[in-house]
């Protein structure tokens, strides 16, 4: 699974981080402007469950096989 997070759409709400219990760690980091954005720790651990996608209201997360 390839997971990408659109940093422009991400609001840093942390919902994906809470939803992803067993896959890659999702961190909340600050970008250079001080805005919180989600970052995937190790995409190769992604289980493809799509929980993060379903909770992300701005639609910032994309999963591809
Ligand atoms: S759920 Fe979406 S908007 Fe919220 S931190 Fe994760 S990627 Fe960003
Ligand atoms: S698809 Fe599932 S395992 Fe992969 S990052 Fe999202 S919540 Fe985590």
Residue 6 CB: number of other CB atoms within 10 A? 14
Q: CATH 3.30.70.20: does it fit domain 2-64? A: yes
Q: What is the pTM of this model?
A: 0.91
Pairing of strands 26-30, 2-5: unpaired
Residue nearest (by alpha carbon) to ligand 1 atom 8: 10
Tell me which residues have their CB closer than 6 angstroms to ligand 1.
Answer: 5, 10-16, 38, 55-56, 58, 60-61
Q: For residue range 6-21, what is the model confidence (pLDDT) as tens digits? A: 999 999 999 999 999 8
Instruction: Give pLDDT tens digits for 11-64.
Output: 999 999 999 987 788 999 999 999 999 999 888 888 899 999 999 999 999 998
* Domains in the chain: boundaries: 2-64
Which alpha helices (H) appear in 1-65, and where do they start and end? 15-19, 51-55
């Amino acid at each position: 699974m390839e997971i990408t997070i659109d940093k422009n759409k991400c609001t840093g709400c942390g919902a994906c981080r809470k939803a992803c219990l067993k896959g890659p760690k999702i961190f909340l980091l600050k970008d250079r402007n001080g805005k919180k954005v989600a970052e995937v720790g190790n995409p190769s651990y992604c289980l493809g469950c799509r929980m993060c996608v379903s909770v992300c209201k701005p639609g910032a997360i994309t999963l591809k096989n």
